Amino acid sequence: MASLHRGFFVTGTDTGVGKTHTTALITDALRKAFIDVVAMKPFCCGDREDAEILAKASHNVAAVELINPVWLRVPAAPYAASLIENRALDVETARSAFSELAEKHQSVLVEGVGGWRVPLTENFCSSDFALELGLPVLVVCSNRLGMLNHTQLTVDSIIAKGLNCAGVIINHPEPAAESPAVITNAAILETLLPVPVLGEILFGASSIPPLLLEKIAALLQCSE
């Protein structure tokens, strides 16, 4: 009999690689496939646009305040933002929000902030929060020069942390450039990683490619 994991932790090789866009496309597609999934971004810094995008992709089944329980107004890493705002980062509220969503919904997609090792506090970073949740990790990388190095470092760090890296999604946040790196990145990455490259999301895509959706849905399935 099949059951579902609680979801995924979605991290990126850096900030600005398209984590929110990717997470939103996956969430919207899964919900349209009648899978009860909700996306959350526990920590936001700067504006709250990412949380609003995820709320819409979740078909508004949860309030923005639950999807994004910790909001810092300074556009910086959470630890830096909390120092500037002179207040401690409320990690416990983020934990509680995840637990509430996990109790109410079949699966939760948790989008991290920035990259894998972004500091949340002096002694606690995004990867530590992911370890607490224990979800399989999806890595979003941007198809540009440097992607091979950044993606390998991120995947290696996830595995070293003792977590399951479910795979990598290559995103195109900018129009395709006819450079040697962009043209060859995907094929080379497949030969370098110990985890699968699940697919690519092209610039301006308004929906997730069907084959990528199939792979994501299959990863959610597990045998009891």
| Digit-coded pLDDT (tens) for 22-74 | 999 999 999 999 999 999 999 999 999 999 999 999 999 999 999 999 999 99
Domain layout of the chain by residue ranges: 2-223
CATH of domain 2-223: 3.40.50.300
Per the prediction, the chain carries an average pLDDT of: 94
pLDDT, position 27: 98
Q: Which residues does 118 contact at the CB level (< 8 Å), separation at least 6?
A: 15, 77, 78, 112, 125, 126
pLDDT at 5: 54
Give the pairing of strands 7-12 and 2-4.
Answer: unpaired
Q: Name residue, tokens 């509430």.
A: 100
pLDDT of residue 197: 98
Stretch (H or E) spanning 193: none
Q: What's the Cα-to-Cα distance from 150 to each of 63, 138, 155, rounded to whole Å? A: 34, 14, 9
Is residue 48 within 8 A of residue 116, CB to CB? The reply is no
Count of beta carbons in the 10 Å neighbourhood of residue 147: 23
How confident is residue 224, by pLDDT bands cut at 50, 70 and 90? very low
**Which candidate, 149, 187, 150, places its Cα nearest to that of 17?**
150
Residue 131, SS3 per DSSP? helix
207-212 CB contacts, 8 Å cutoff, 24+ apart: 207/25, 207/28, 207/29, 208/25, 208/26, 208/29, 212/169
Q: What integer is the mean pLDDT of 209-216?
A: 95
State the catalytic residues: 41
Q: At what angle do helices 126-133 and 91-104 cross, to 10 degrees?
A: 30
What does the pLDDT read at residue 177? 75
Q: Which two tokens stand for residue 81?
A: 């933002």
- What sections of 87-146 are H helices per DSSP? 91-104, 126-133
The pTM for the full model equals 0.94
In the chain, count H helices and then E strands.
9, 12
Q: What is the pLDDT of residue 175?
A: 84
How far apart CA 85 and CA 2 sit, in angstroms, is 46
For the cut 70, the answer to whether the pLDDT of residue 103 exceeds it is yes
CA 127, distance to chain mean position in Å, is: 12
